Structure 1
Amino acid sequence: MVPVSVLCNIVESGFEPLSCECTESLGVLRIEVCDPVTGRVELLISGVSTAELTSVRAISDFVGKLRTGMKAGRRTFSG
């Protein structure tokens, strides 16, 4: 099992150059990704169980899926 501090560090660094805050409470994550210049929230997700995030690979895959979803969302909502 990956310690929560390491898990959150991997998640937060996976969104650079955006600002990311990852917090954990009772085995559940809350992830907020913001544009550091505008403060606009790009992604806010809560209720993510840490149960499946047991390796660096699993965490990296999870971050990759979130980033892909964010990019798809931007394309969907751009004019």
Structure 2
Amino acid sequence: MVPISVLCSIVESGFQPLSCDCTVSSNGLLRIKVFEPATGRIDLLVNGVSPDELTTIRAISDLVGELRAEMRAGRRAFAG
């Protein structure tokens, strides 16, 4: 199993050049916030991610890929 601190570090590094905060709530679930560092504009906010399935680097990488795809889809949805 990957320690939570390492898991969050991997997630946070997966969104560069944007900034990412990965925190653990009191109930053990992750909150992932991806934002533009210069403006503070939030591009993605996901609450309640269970770390139970994120036991390998591959699983964490897959999650980052899914979240990046979600961000791209969201931008297209609001592109008009």
Unpaired runs of at least 5, structure 1: none
The structure with the greater share of residues assigned to strand is: 1
8 Å CA contact 1:2–1:54 kept in 2: the answer is: yes
Determine if the alignment matches structure 1 residue 19 to structure 2 residue 22. Answer: no
Q: Could you say which residue in structure 2 is the equivalent of 1:40?
A: 41
Structure 2 CA distance, aligned partners of 1:42 and 1:74?
A: 9
Q: Could you say which residue in structure 2 is the equivalent of 1:8?
A: 8
Structure 1 CA distance, aligned partners of 2:33 and 2:73?
A: 17
Post-superposition offset of 1:38: 1.2
Structure 2 CA distance, aligned partners of 1:66 and 1:20?
A: 12
Structure 2 CA distance, aligned partners of 1:14 and 1:64?
A: 8
Post-superposition offset of 1:27: 2.7
Q: Please, which moves more after superposition, 24-33 or 5-14?
A: 24-33
Give aligned-pair identity as a percent: 67
The count of aligned residue pairs is: 79
The one-letter code sitting in structure 2 at the alignment partner of 1:58 is A
The one-letter code sitting in structure 2 at the alignment partner of 1:70 is M
* TM-score (ref. length: structure 2): 0.94
Structure 1 CA distance, aligned partners of 2:40 and 2:79?
A: 18
Structure 2 CA distance, aligned partners of 1:29 and 1:78?
A: 29
Structure 2 CA distance, aligned partners of 1:24 and 1:40?
A: 21
The RMSD of aligned alpha carbons is 0.8
